[in-house]
């Protein structure tokens, strides 16, 4: 990788996120052009499913236009090259319905829900670098805890939720299991 930079997705960076996700349409795995990373930002899974494609794109655009930062973009040589969703947990209202959280509305707990790295950029360690940038951004904006739900690498499917080994290398610790091959992992800012 030549020049690598990370930036939060603000309204001015919307065209870069739009391009990165739109260009994924031909990919077999990890194609965000359907979900637009809205699954956990909507109140129900059905709303997300019904909105696959353009409706989810418009919803994400409104989210960004409302000055809520949904995540971090990686740039290689000035071109968008990867994505990591990171937000305060209360903005991910869809998570509330599927999890058991003490104090779900605590704004100092942030969540990494997904990653996207285009097929031609995979295998270069970009997911780990995106996660580190997401943690820095979250902590700089008041996060005490950054949480994620990665899977064991063999069971990670398209890798959208990340892998346990990548989270461990970024300083996260496992706190429990969601299921046999998926963990709840946390980064504690005060222990870093």
The angle at the Cα of 90, spanning 128 to 143, to the nearest 5 degrees, equals 50
Query: Mean pLDDT across the stretch 131-148?
Result: 97
Q: How high does pLDDT run on average in the chain?
A: 91
Q: Which pLDDT belongs to residue 174?
A: 96
pTM over 0.85: yes
Please name the residue ranges forming H helices in the chain.
14-22, 32-35, 45-50, 54-65, 93-98, 126-140, 164-169
Asked whether the predicted pLDDT for residue 1 surpasses 60, the reply is: no
In the beta sheet, which residues pair with residue 18? none
Among the ranges given (3-12, 44-53, 164-173), the one the predictor scored with the smallest mean pLDDT: 44-53
- Name which of 26-30, 118-122, 138-142, 144-148 the model is least confident about: 26-30
What pLDDT digit, counting tens, does each position of 12-54 carry?
A: 999 999 999 998 887 776 678 889 999 999 988 899 889 889 9
Output the six-digit token pair for 1: 């990788």
User: Per residue in 74-102, pLDDT tens?
Assistant: 999 999 999 999 999 999 999 888 877 88
Dist. CA 53–CA 26, nearest whole Å = 13
Q: How far apart are CA 107 and CA 181, in angstroms?
A: 28
User: Do 42 and 51 form a contact (C-beta atoms < 8 A)?
Assistant: yes
Going 47 to 186 to 100 to 91, the CA torsion angle's sign is negative
Sorted by where each starts, the structural domains of the chain and their CATH numbers stand as 4-191 (3.40.630.30)
| Percent above pLDDT 90 for the chain | 68
């Amino acid at each position: 990788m030549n020049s690598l930079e990370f930036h939060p997705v603000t309204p001015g960076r919307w065209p870069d996120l739009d391009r990165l996700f739109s260009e994924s349409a031909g990919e077999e795995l990890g194609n965000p052009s359907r979900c637009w990373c809205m699954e956990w930002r909507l109140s129900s899974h059905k709303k997300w499913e019904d909105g696959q494609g353009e409706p989810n794109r418009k919803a994400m655009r409104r989210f960004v236009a409302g000055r809520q930062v949904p995540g971090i973009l990686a740039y290689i040589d000035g071109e968008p090259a990867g994505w990591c969703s990171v937000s305060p947990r209360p903005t991910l209202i869809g998570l509330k319905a599927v999890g058991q959280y003490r104090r779900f509305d605590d704004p100092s707990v942030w969540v990494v829900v997904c990653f996207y790295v285009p097929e031609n950029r995979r295998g270069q360690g970009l997911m780990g670098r995106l996660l580190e940038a997401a943690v820095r951004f979250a902590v700089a904006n008041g996060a005490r805890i950054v949480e994620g739900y990665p899977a064991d690498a063999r069971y990670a499917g398209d890798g959208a939720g990340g892998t346990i080994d990548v989270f461990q290398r970024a300083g996260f610790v496992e706190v429990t299991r969601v299921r046999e091959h998926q963990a709840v992992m946390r980064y504690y800012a005060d222990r870093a």
